[in-house]
Amino acid sequence: MKCGKCVFFSPHISFPWVGYCPMVGRVVGEAGGCNSFREISLNELLNSLEARGCAYCITCRLTLTSREELEEHYRKGHTLSLGTAIDEEQHLETYVAD
């Protein structure tokens, strides 16, 4: 019953141990949990892949764009999500190069 395994959890792309939960309306840690928990299913992931064109593997930190890729990560027991949280301030995390 951890947030990181919940269908509603959208991880931050740079800090995947935190993410947004629309059920509580705030940022949560992956180790948290609540009464709205629902484990993500392969069908939900495949529907997201079809509708949005991608799903996200939190374990590998990869965007998955094909059914085969998604099913492979699911079979391996990776932690998957329907997508990532949008962080409008992400550009502030970018380091300047010389």
Domain assignment present for 18 = yes
SS3 of 96, please? coil
Domain assignment present for 14 = yes
Number of compact structural domains in the chain: 2
Q: Are 38 and 7 in contact (CB under 8 A)?
A: yes
C-alpha–C-alpha distance, residues 51 and 40, integer Å: 16
The pLDDT averaged over each successive group of 10 residues in the chain (98 residues) is 90 89 92 90 93 93 94 95 82 71
C-alpha–C-alpha distance, residues 85 and 72, integer Å: 23
Give the pLDDT confidence score for residue 90 in this predicted structure: 73
pTM, 2 dp: 0.81
C-alpha–C-alpha distance, residues 19 and 17, integer Å: 7
The DSSP call for residue 6 is B
Residues 45 and 33 in one domain: no
Residues 61 and 32 in one domain: no
Give the pLDDT confidence score for residue 25 in this predicted structure: 92
Domain assignment present for 89 = no
Residues 33 and 44 in one domain: no
